[in-house]
Amino acid sequence: MPRPSLSTNRRLVDLWNLCVDTGADVTFRPGIGRPLVTRTASRAHMVGSEAFVFVMGAGRVPLDRVVPA
């Protein structure tokens, strides 16, 4: 699957920040292992051309691996 474009990731960050507050319950899906139910520790942000959010217990994770609970 191709990676999302820079403009798509910016829109994703904006939408996430409109809908999900810092401290909200989320589920983080790591590449290996069981999903982790946790909370956001920041707003979503861009690092280069990628979208990320900080979550408790996992640090900075790609936004496409996190879903609101």
Question: Where exactly are the structural domains of the chain?
Answer: 6-68
For 14, the token pair is 């904006």
Give the pLDDT of residue 1: 62
Percentage above 90 pLDDT, the chain: 86
CATH match for 6-68 among 3.40.50, 3.30.70, 2.60.40, 2.30.30: 2.30.30
Task: Please provide residue 34's backbone torsions phi and psi, each rounded to the nearest 5 degrees.
Answer: -80, 150
Contacts of 23 by beta carbon, 8 Å cutoff, 6+ apart: 39, 40, 41
What is the enclosing helix (H) or strand (E) of 44?
A: none
**pLDDT 10s per residue in the chain (69 long)?**
677 788 999 999 999 999 999 999 999 999 898 999 999 999 999 999 999 999 999 999 999 999 998
CA distance linking residue 48 with residue 10, whole number of Å: 11
